[in-house]
Amino acid sequence: MIESKSFRWNECRTIAALLGTVAMGLAANAQSDEHALDTLQVHGFLSQALVITDDNNFFGQSSQDEGSFEFTEIGLNVSLRPHQDVLVAAQVLSRRAGGNSSDAEPKLDYGLVDYQMISNQERTLGIQLGRIKNPFGFYNQTRDVAFTRPSILLPQSIYFDRTRSLALTGDGLTLYLEERLDSGVVRGQLGLGEPQAGDDLSQTLQLQRIAGSFNPQQSTIAQVRYEHDGGRIVAAVSNANVKSRIESHYQGVNDGDFYFTPWIFSLQYNQELWSITAEYALRRSGFKNFNPTSLNFNTTGESWYLQYTRRFYDNWQWLIRYDSLISNRNDPSGKDFEAKGLGPAHTQFAEDLTFGLQWTPHPQVMLAGEYHHVDGTGWLPIQDNQDFSATSRRWNMWLFQLSLRF
């Protein structure tokens, strides 16, 4: 079984303590700013969902009895400006999405020091150090806060929940530059660091046949984003080169490498009462340098979605979305996959038609519900469906969620 060398809770506390020490040191040295504590902000959020499916399971045993309540998100974040050019911020997150109750153990979601070297009316140039949320598409950096999502579930073809650890954060540094033009704003980010490689990754890649451990290597991620006319049109391109060494503990198998190089193209058009959003991704991933070479593979997947949201009565919003996932462009139907005895064909694709509704009766309270009709199980969580031969190709899902924030 593959083990992950990602950070555990004790290591998260170490990082948080380090960030706190840096913040206090900067505050002590900022003699010209006597009101640093006035910038202290503390916010939190809580979301609880009910998931019901007619077949298959999603975030717990959702196809049994009254459904599953095993989708809970609780977060607490804090930020402080010890100097006008320095921001220190961190967030602790407890999240359970099926699996064991131990999965809800609080973890350091992000923790960073942000220093702006240039900040004026024309541009901002800065650097962030620590555990940083990856700029991946439109929603990755805020994906765990329900109030920032257009729906209870983000499009699973782009924002995989079953391999979220890989895309979510990295430990390292990020350089960013924002240029304010007459027509809009251009923002670029370039990050260098080590990705997280949690148990969800090894389960999805079905690496039980290899005894060993993930050892994340230096990886890069970059995004260029343009907002035109105050955000009426938003476009972004994201790219990553994620690498991890797999140290083999199995006799007769040498060490190998895992790689993941996605491209994501994002476009959004906004009007006062409605928005259209589309994202398209090409995802190249695989193993290399293993001996025996039969363990090596190279696959290019394809994903896209088209989403329409409509706002009405000030605090209501409805949504319709079509979401498509193909795990292997050379085998879109999964027939070759099934012919090789690797599993059902429907595990290699998913087409999801979603209808959603949100009501925000108070700025700190949101109620949401949505319906999914899915053809395929390409993004179905493996931890909730250990025997994929027993899953159904076509299935339906209903979700209901209460979200609070302060």
- Does the pLDDT at position 21 exceed 80? no
Most confident stretch, 190-194, 199-203, 289-293? 190-194
What's the confidence (pLDDT) of residue 95?
92
Structure confidence by residue, pLDDT tens digits, 118-163: 999 999 999 999 999 989 899 998 888 999 999 999 999 999 887 7
- Residue-wise pLDDT for 44-79, tens only, equals 999 999 999 999 999 999 999 889 999 999 999 999
SS3 210: coil
Q: Which amino acid is at 189?
A: Q
Q: What is the mean pLDDT of residues 239-255?
A: 80
pLDDT at 149: 94
Backbone angles phi, psi at 38, to 5 degrees: -65, -20
Model confidence at 173: pLDDT above 70 = yes
pLDDT at 65 (0 to 100): 86
Report the pLDDT averaged over residues 26-54.
78
138: helix, strand or coil: coil
The CB density around residue 192, as the number of other CB atoms within 10 Å, is 14
Q: How far apart are CA 402 and CA 98, in angstroms?
A: 17
What is residue 57's DSSP assignment?
-
pLDDT band at 394 (very low <50, low <70, confident <90, very high): very high
Report d(CA 242, CA 259) in Å as an integer. Answer: 6
Q: Delineate the domains of the chain, giving CATH numbers in brackets.
A: 2-405 (2.40.160.10)
In whole angstroms, give the CA distance from residue 273 to residue 159: 25
- Other beta carbons within 10 Å of 237: 14
Cβ–Cβ under 8 Å, residues 343 and 380: no
Are 338 and 292 in contact by the 8 Å Cβ rule? The answer is no
Longest dimension (CA), the chain: 71
Query: Predicted confidence band at 247 (pLDDT cuts at 50, 70, 90)?
Result: confident
Indicate whether 23 pLDDT > 70.
Answer: no
Helix (H) or strand (E) holding 202: helix 199-204
| Sequence-separated (6 or more) residues with CB below 8 Å from residue 62 | 51, 52, 53, 68, 384, 397
Rounded to the nearest integer, the mean pLDDT of the chain is 86
The arithmetic mean of pLDDT across residues 326-340, rounded, is: 94
Give the model's pLDDT for residue 197. Answer: 65
Is the pLDDT at 202 greater than 60? The verdict is no
For CA atoms 276, 264, 375, 147, the dihedral sign is negative
Q: Residues 338-346: what's their mean pLDDT?
A: 92
The 10s digit of each residue's pLDDT in 267-284 is 999 999 999 999 999 999
**Per-residue pLDDT at 93 exceeds 90:** yes
Provide the pairing of β-strand 184-195 with 256-270.
unpaired
Strands, DSSP E only, in 217-255?
A: 219-228, 233-248
**3-state SS assignment for residue 295:** helix
Phi, psi of 337 (to 5 degrees): -60, -45
CA distance 152 to 131: 25
